Amino acid sequence: MRGDRMSFRTGPYVDMPLMLAAVGIVTLGLVNLYSATSVYVESTQNSRLADNYVSQIYWVVVGALLAILAAAIDYRHYERLSTFLFVGGMISLGLVFILGNDIRGSSRWINLGGFAFQPSEFMKIVVILMVARFVHNDPKTEPRTLIDLAPPLLATAAPCAAVMAQPDLGTAIIYALICISILAMNRVRRGSILVVVLAASAALPLAWYYVLRDYQKARITSFLHPEADKTGTGWHALQSQTAIGNGQIWGEGFMQGTQNQFGLLPDQFSDFPFAVFAEDWGFLGGVVLIALYAFLSIWAVHIASQAKDRFGAAVAIGVGAMVFWHAICNIGMATGVLPVVGITLPLFSYGGSSIVTMMIGLGLLMNVSMRR
Amino acid sequence: MSFLVQRSDVGEFRRRYRWLVLFVLVAFSVLIGRLAELQIIEGDMHRAQARRNIVRERYLATTRGVIRDAYGRVLAANRPAYTVYITPGRVDLESTWPRLCRLLGLDESEKARFETRIKEAQAAVLAQKATKERDKERDRRAEQQVVLKYDADRDAVAWLETHNPVGVDVSPTPVRYYPYGELGAHLVGYMREVDADALSRLEDRGYRAGDRIGAVGIERRWESYLRGQRGMRKMLVGQRGKLNRDSADELEARYLEEPRRIEPIPGRDVSLTIDIDLLASVEKALRGQAAGAVVVVDVRTGRILAALSKPSFDPNVVSGGGGIAAAADAFRRLNVDPLKPTLDKTISAAYPPGSTYKPFSALAGLADGLVDPAAEVDCRGGYEYGKRFFRCEGIHRHVNLHSAIVQSCNTYFYDLGARVSIDRLAATGLDYGFGIKTGIGVNPEARGRMPTRAWYTRRYKEAFRGGFTLLSVIGQGATTVTVLQLALAYAALANGGTLYQPQLVRSIETSDGTVVQEFPPRVRRMVGVDAEHLEIVKRGLEGVVAEKQGTAHKEALPGVDMAGKTGTAQVTHVTSRGVDPDRVWYFNRAHALFAAFAPSKSPEIAIVVLIEHGGGGGKNAVPVAMRVTRDWQKLKETRLSARSNPGDTSRSNL
């Protein structure tokens, strides 16, 4: 590790551990995507699906360029920009309902020319910036009350409500978790925490009856009682667990996982890529991948601890939280310890918006790391 | 960068970082722990499940053995029919199922029945995965195929073969086919679907739900030989993905556990002692009679040459060859028929023998020295004993033993009955195999009854009365025998006192015709009878047919040489209760019997004809026996000339 910053003459300082971890996950993700999509290449000759991993490479390139851009501009500029980004993000979330095209019963995408993008993904970055901005500008040092925390909470609740309406429970949960994670850095009054906990537990039954859609309820009930759900999501989760277990210690080998190759895994390149990976590469591969995510999350905390201001630290924590919660939720879902929610595995799952968002986030992280 | 003001310090955050790192580590450790649980601790279970997901077991049907008659004619064989199986745990209820039901023409009740079964199986699969317990028993049940439809029509089979939906298999199963239909149905038997009860007992022996099992007769008794063993083949389902590049053999070698294929073993063939030609002639001779039974045995071996119970049923229909509904319908009709078509009247029913029993009474009397063959009794139409008058069929005046047999004089035998002990009579009967099961092996066997003093005492609370003996002597009262017992006993009379074990199966062969096991005739016992006494009785029996006064003489056919005894067995009077009032007269009529052997000198066959409620034995039963014997003689001549002829192609076993 370098003790001092490099001058511009010797080139910009690059946080190599962060870089390597990210490159490692992306590489594994591409390799795994090849295995996951090969099922369709061979059996259906469906070139659109067969080209998945090629288009994923394009997205990785696009994401890398945007990440470099995000890293190049001093992150302190983003603090001021965040309000505009927030307004823009909310408008595009609103546009989804007008322009969006339905995929599996929820409208999440906006078609722009040849490609579709998901505003809710990019909104994750905006939420990070908004909450970080609040933390940065908060002059208080004594424990905060709920009223003190109202601005960031409202700034998170607004996109949450918008994506819940799509409906997209997973993204709303991620927004909330990001917000909570950043705010957890601040001292908050015990009484306020108690109020929030009580309010949340009171809101749960209400949410169950008035907010959650039937399929979302079904996922939760099937998680709690897998035997009650005969065909739907419970079945998917069980197939995923079977695939992972089938990997055993050493794995079935690259493109040899039978659950994947015989088409028993649902959504194997977006929601369940971990199952494909763990089946092919076994416990060893799984541990390596989990270790990379753990390293990335901890490294983000490390970067935050070295940041020179609260905004930088909060952004680093926010990006780290985004990676962390995505990884936990997705792997937890694939291994059956959490209910099935459509949360992607960061840098790993197929999906342009998702991977570009993650890479922009890592660009911000790099930004903070470069300017400490 | 001066315009960027560094406003707040990060000091407040410091103390939280450690906790965050700890939180991250704990969270990922939980995931790794779960990963270890899935992949290492439960790894074998999940691998097994993953294999089950891609492997299907397919049964390879075996061929049931063929049943042949003594001359190689096929009595029961197989014809191909397509059976559709489903694996309830796998069938797609939404897309495949409705189409399948339509194609196979399942009715609503069948449809509903299978639907619940499918749902149960699929729930069980999930429940098992939820509890994480590997319950082998339940595994096996969920993967077990059940029969959806027998004898599916060709259109449905063609559709299934081209679309090959998951969880549905078609296999050509041989269906049992009985070329002679009703002829010999009681002996050969039929097939039925194995029921839940039998299944639980037989599961270890490879029986599965929907299997067929022999229901009665040879099909049941020799089930374990006829059945064979079904084979099994494992295969990969829906081969997809990259693995498709590898050859199928390689893939199967990798994923299929040994044994990958078990060849089916065809069942053994069974050759009977029955002569289907003779059986056909029996059937012909019985036309015009509503119900009855005929048994023909070889007196030198105890082999059963023909056994027919009338009315009969079509084993093709009750085996389900025409569909399950047709079989159920047939059973409904058979079960309410007052003539009891499903009852094997040759083996499973006991009748009073009537006068056909008199030779044995005479032998009992002769053995004890109670009868002097020359002594005469004056028959005046009956016999007074105690306060009762026992009637004779006629007024025969002076009869000795010979003429008493020839004319079937009851009075003569009442006189004997007054002197002989009932236990002696019963003992003689037992000697000739009455009152004991013959051990033929097929069908539930009636024992018949040789009443003794003890039996009467048990049965009627009052004291034993001598009148019972008088009835026993003439084969009435409580005495009952089966047609088969009577035939074997007459065979013993004919062959000089050898009581044979009745034999129905001649040999067991493999499907390529190699004889595996041959069954020689088995002697049950030598009856200790004085040859002289036997000769007296046999001459009496000859007289029945040959002498002018003989009860069978009028119906004798020219050229048919036989000796026997007629019988007219009174039946217990029935009232109209439980019986169609228009038919009461029929059920109150006596049974007509004729028990005989032929030829009268050096006899070869014994034949017993029973016409249920046929009236007088001489008039009704004798013509049947005469015609059968005539046909038997003809068959014998044809076979003799055929055997001397080298061009003969029949499968003679001699």
Span A296-345, pLDDT tens digits: 999 999 999 988 888 999 999 999 999 999 999 999 999 989 888 888 99
The chain-wide mean pLDDT, for chain A, equals 84
Give me the mean pLDDT over the B137-146 stretch: 66
Among A191-205, B86-100, B279-293, the minimum mean pLDDT is found in B86-100
Of residues A141, A61, A70, the one with CA closest to residue A371: A70
* Alpha carbon of B104: minimum distance to chain A alpha carbons (Å): 25
* DSSP result, B154-167: HHHHHHHHHH--TT
Domain boundaries, chain A: 13-370
Answer whether residue A112 shows pLDDT above 80.
no
Is the pLDDT confidence value at B652 over 50? no
Residues of chain A with C-beta less than 8 angstroms from the C-beta of B12:
141, 185-187, 310
Percent above pLDDT 90 for chain B: 42
Query: Taking 80 as the threshold, does the pLDDT of residue B276 lie above it?
Result: yes
Interface check B26 vs A, CB under 8 A: no
A/B interface, count of CB pairs below 8 Å: 198
Residue spans of alpha helices (H) in B552-616: 584-587
Say if domain B61-229+264-272 classifies as CATH 3.90.1310.10: yes
pLDDT at B443: 87
Q: Which one of A138, A305, A326 would you mutate to disrupt binding with B, by most B Cβ within 10 Å of its Cβ?
A: A305
Q: What pLDDT, on a 0 to 100 scale, did the predictor assign at position B147?
A: 80
Per-residue model confidence (pLDDT) at position A318:
96
**What mean pLDDT is reported for chain B?**
85
CA B577 to chain centre: 32
> Which residues of chain B does A5 touch, with a Cβ-Cβ cutoff of 8 Å?
none
SS3 B213: strand
What does the pLDDT read at residue A100? 62
Q: Does B419 touch chain A (CB under 8 A)?
A: no
Distance CA A237, CA A232 (A): 9
Residue with tokens 């034995």: B617
Confidence of residue A1 (pLDDT cuts 50, 70, 90): very low
Work out the pLDDT band at A140, boundaries 50, 70, 90. confident
State pLDDT tens for residues B214-224.
989 999 999 99
With 0-12 / 13-18 / 19 or more C-beta atoms within 10 angstroms meaning exposed / middle / buried, residue A211 is middle
The per-residue pLDDT for B642 is: 83
pLDDT > 70: what percent of chain A? 86
**Mean per-residue pLDDT for A268-273?**
80
The reply to whether B54 touches chain A by the CB within 8 Å rule is: yes
Distance CA A335, CA A238 (A): 9
In this prediction, residues A8-35 reach a mean pLDDT of: 84
Say whether residue B16 is in contact with chain A using an 8 A CB cutoff: yes
State the ipTM, two decimals.
0.91
Among all chains, which residue has been given the structure tokens 């014994």? B606
Distance from CA of A260 to the nearest CA of B (A): 8
Nearest chain A residue to B118 by CA distance is A230
Q: What is the CATH superfamily name and number for domain B276-311+345-643?
A: DD-peptidase/beta-lactamase superfamily (3.40.710.10)
Give B124→chain A minimum CA distance, Å.
8
pLDDT value at residue B138: 58
Q: Can you give the pLDDT at residue A199?
A: 87
Contact A74 B4 (CB under 8 A): yes
Kindly report, residue by residue over B528-576, the tens digit of the pLDDT.
Answer: 888 999 999 999 999 999 999 899 998 889 889 999 999 999 887 766 5
Tell how strand B377-379 and strand B397-399 pair up.
antiparallel
**Domains in chain B: boundaries:** 61-229+264-272, 276-311+345-643
Q: Find, in chain B, the residue whose alpha carbon is nearest to that of A37.
A: B241
Which residues sit opposite A102 in a β-bridge?
A107
Q: Which member of A255, A297, A304 has the closest CB to residue B242?
A: A255
Q: Which of B1, B30, B38 sits opposite A244 (nearest CB)?
A: B38
